Amino acid sequence: MNATNGDPISAFFGLSEQSGAERAVAEFFARRPVLIAGEGKRLLALPVEGLDSQRLAEFSALCAPIAPRVVITARRAQAIGLKATMPVALHLGADPDAATILRLVADAKTSHPAGASAAGPLASAAIELAKLSQGLPAVLVADIVAGRALDHRIVSVGAEAVARFADDIIESLAIASKAAVPLNSGARADFVVFRDAMGGSQVAIIVGKPDFSEPVLVRLHSACLTGDVFGSRRCDCGDQLNLALKFLEETGGGVVLYLAQEGRGLGLANKMRTYQMQDDGLDTVDANTTLGFDDDERDYRVAARMLQMLQCDRVVLLTNNPAKLEGLAKSGIKITGRMAIEAPINSDNRRYLTAKAARAGHRLNHLANSLAEASDAERDVTALAP
């Protein structure tokens, strides 16, 4: 982080412009309002995540006489029937209630208010803060007129600092600790924990003794509590992790980067929301976008940074996802090869895997073979029917 030049006290406490963005993210985690400034304007923003009637009333009183608007992403706007390419501000009318607002930003089927307008760059920064705090990608906002004083406890941040925040967090990554860990398979692995300026943790698991002067087998694995820990059949994550570890052990070693990117970067709470939408009929892609996110919110620059810090700049990637290849390559990692990870297909994850292959471009040849076999079997049964 860039400290304030010439001021040792500010430097010691990290009182830089970017520290304002860190504090703003922390305030959104705590579901408190933040003042966003830029282009001679000020916008008061409150995350919709965790909204209740008391918090709505307090925010409305803080904004008075300006009525709050709710800002949603372009993806969410499209899902509720609006044409949009940028975040949209919806006018709520008189005395909106918290339940109505939550339905507006999170229900799969809902109508939109009559009044809508382009949200502007300050509101877009507020949406980014909401995503960084892993909440719903929606905020309540109100313009603050010039000269109006607000409570000094409200954190203020520049929109430009929010825009640079992701870059600065990646640059702040540092190795915090490391230790050898014996695995159930009998192999030993070195766990290297990386931490960033916000306290987020990512882990590199170095299996065996890979030669970092040569291309190294690498698996980028996004954390999946349901699949990795509890063996969920809704996805193939746990199976992919186990297959990758086994393969690295059998081939002399490699690296698994265990990334804090639950739910393709949505966070655990939002992942559960998309699961509910899938239960109601949407596929995994439409569930993410209906909630207001991109299909995949992950940023693979953090993985590239970790590999560079491990002195690993040439890799053979264990993945079915072309986006991982592209993300690492754009960040300076040379991809010398790709190897597929073909996890078991079951009745609970078949629809999920089909959507990943058909709509997100995942290379799942074994799925195509499985679907073909199922189709052949169905035709055989039909032919035998009297």
**pLDDT of 21:** 93
Domain boundaries, the chain: 8-168, 174-261+298-384
Structure tokens at 329: 């390559």
Which 8-state DSSP code applies to residue 198? T
**pLDDT of 3:** 45
pLDDT in tens, 196-212: 998 999 999 999 999 99
Helix (H) or strand (E) holding 249: helix 237-250
pLDDT in tens, 120-142: 999 999 999 999 999 999 999 99
What angle (nearest 5°) sits at the alpha carbon of residue 178, between those of residues 12 and 171?
45
328 within 8 A of 304, measured Cβ to Cβ: yes
Separation CA 77–CA 66 (nearest Å)? 23
292 within 8 A of 137, measured Cβ to Cβ: yes
**Is the pLDDT assigned to residue 2 strictly greater than 80?**
no
For the chain, the average pLDDT equals 90
**Is the pLDDT assigned to residue 376 strictly greater than 50?**
no
Q: How many residues does the chain have?
A: 386
Q: If you average pLDDT over residues 316-322, what whole number do you get?
A: 96
Q: Which of 213, 282, 210, 277 is nearest to 247 (CA)?
A: 210
**pLDDT of 9:** 53
> Could you tell me which residues are beta bridge partners of residue 69?
91, 141
Which CATH number does 8-168 carry? 3.90.870.10
Burial of 114 (0-12, 13-18, 19+ CB in 10 A): exposed
**pLDDT of 375:** 45
**Three-state DSSP class for residue 339:** strand
Q: Quickly count: other Cβ atoms within 10 Å of residue 384's Cβ.
A: 7
Separation CA 323–CA 326 (nearest Å)? 5
Q: Which of 116, 74, 38, 306 is nearest to 196 (CA)?
A: 306
Is residue 296 part of the annotated active site? The answer reads yes
Is residue 283 part of the annotated active site? The answer reads no
Which residue of the set 76, 219, 296, 301 is catalytic?
296
Separation CA 153–CA 366 (nearest Å)? 56
Q: If you average pLDDT over residues 351-376, what whole number do you get?
A: 76
Q: Of the ranges 93-107, 147-161, 223-237, 350-364, which is most confident?
A: 223-237
**pLDDT of 371:** 55
Helix (H) or strand (E) holding 200: none
The domain made up of 174-261+298-384 has a fold known as Rossmann fold (3.40.50)
> Can you tell me which residue has the tokens 């014996």?
182
Which residue of the set 76, 264, 298, 301 is catalytic?
298
Alpha helices in 251-314, H assignment, sequence order: 262-265, 268-279, 284-290, 301-309
